[in-house]
Amino acid sequence: MRVLGVDPGLTRCGVGVVDGSPGRRLAMVGVGVVRTSADAPIGERLVLIERGLEAWLDEHRPQAVAVERVFAQHNVRTVMGTAQASAVAILCAARRGLPVHLHTPSEVKAAVTGNGRADKAQVGAMVTRLLRLDAPPRPADAADALALAICHIWRGGGTDRLEQAVAAARAARTAQPARTVQPAARSAEKAVRPQEPAP
């Protein structure tokens, strides 16, 4: 499975692509950040984030997108900016029909380090180790994006398979009534049609 992790932010939106599956070795495909200027109008910044994410989606063709779930902080302005960038990431993925999964920071930390309260340095160190990198990705937003992708590969793979099975079952149920409509319609037609007199 190839997953694009997105650590949403207006100034720096971390992005990281990881290949792997549960129980197998992970491989980093790409990592970076989409940057915008704090002086630019909000609309322009969101357009730049969209263009940057679309470029990553075009280049790496992930099968799923993992985005950090926005949670309440003391700084409302920071939360709003993070939520806006998160919405852009979800929109870009949904436009392509890609499954989008939201993971809380504590879920990601627990999946990668085993400790839901790990700090950024610990997350960066474990990402470096798991992906066999020479050094932790910089800035921390990039490392967090890789951690999101790793978290989803390890925790979300089963969820993806379950959703695919449910979708297949729904499609099969939808197709079945179409085959039984005609006999039912013929029975109704016979009941309504006047009987011809016997010769």
pLDDT in tens, 45-86: 999 999 999 999 999 999 999 999 987 666 777 889 999 999
pLDDT at 141: 96
189 marked as part of a ligand binding site: no
* Residue 182 tokens, joined: 């005609």
User: Class of 2-162 per CATH?
Assistant: alpha beta
What is the spatial distance between Cα 187 and Cα 199, in angstroms, rounded to a whole number?
24
> Largest alpha-carbon pair distance within the chain?
96
pLDDT at 44: 98
68 marked as part of a ligand binding site: yes
Compute the radius of gyration of the chain from its Cα atoms: 24
**Active-site residue, 68 included:** yes
What is the spatial distance between Cα 50 and Cα 46, in angstroms, rounded to a whole number?
6
| Predicted confidence (pLDDT) per residue in 166-186, tens digit | 666 777 887 765 444 455 444
pLDDT at 191: 46
Q: What angle (nearest 5°) sits at the alpha carbon of residue 128, between those of residues 21 and 107?
A: 60
Q: Between β-strands 100-103 and 64-68, what pairing exists: parallel, antiparallel or unpaired?
A: parallel
39 marked as part of a ligand binding site: no
Contact present, 153 and 112 (Cβ < 8 Å): no
What type of residue is 136? Answer: P
Catalytic-labelled residue, pool 141, 144, 189, 196: 141
Please report, for the chain, the start and end positions of each structural domain, with discontinuous segments joined by +. Answer: 2-162
Contact present, 145 and 31 (Cβ < 8 Å): yes
Cβ-Cβ contacts under 8 Å for 56 (sequence gap 6 or more):
4, 15, 17, 30, 32, 34
Q: What angle (nearest 5°) sits at the alpha carbon of residue 9, between those of residues 75 and 127?
A: 110
What type of residue is 105? Answer: P
- Number of continuous H segments (helices) and E segments (strands) in the chain: 5, 5
Catalytic-labelled residue, pool 58, 68, 160, 196: 68
Taking 70 as the threshold, does the pLDDT of residue 157 lie above it?
no
Between helices 140-192 and 105-113, what is the axis angle to 10°? 110
Tell me: cis bond preceding 139? Omega within 30 of 0 counts. Answer: yes
Contact present, 18 and 145 (Cβ < 8 Å): no
Q: Supply φ then ψ for residue 3, to 5 degrees.
A: -125, 135
pLDDT at 71: 77
